[in-house]
Amino acid sequence: MQSMNISLPDPLKQFVDGQVSQGRYSSASEYVRELIRADEKRKAEEQLEAKLLEGLNTAESELTPSDWSAIRAEALARMQARKKTS
């Protein structure tokens, strides 16, 4: 595992320390890793949604909004399953 040093203003450092002291995370590193994972997930979901909407908006698409919802739900479930095995 690689190390990374970051600088935070005092209010942000205090916030992170508060999250750790409340027992939500075992360390500041764990908190930052969780934030990064959440950001990765959000970006992947945005990319998936953009691609699905692009497909829906093409003339060749016969997908309905309910089709899109089902595909999106299945894709998100697969992403969750993949993250659990990582």
pLDDT (tens digit, 9 = 90+) per residue, 14-47?
A: 999 999 999 999 999 999 999 999 999 999 999 9
Note the pLDDT of residue 61: 61
Contact 25, 34 (CB under 8 A): yes
The DSSP code for 60 is T
At 71, list the tokens: 């595909």
pLDDT at 86: 67
Return d(Cα 45, Cα 23) in angstroms, integer: 29
> What is the average per-residue pLDDT within 58-84?
86
Among residues 51, 64, 4, the alpha carbon closest in space to that of 28 is found at 4
pLDDT, the chain, mean? 91
User: CB 16: neighbour CB atoms within 10 A?
Assistant: 19
Nearest Cα residue to 40 out of 73, 67, 79: 79
Residue 63 is predicted with a pLDDT of 76
Q: Which residue has the tokens 């969780």?
A: 34
Contact predicate 28/20, CB 8 Å: yes
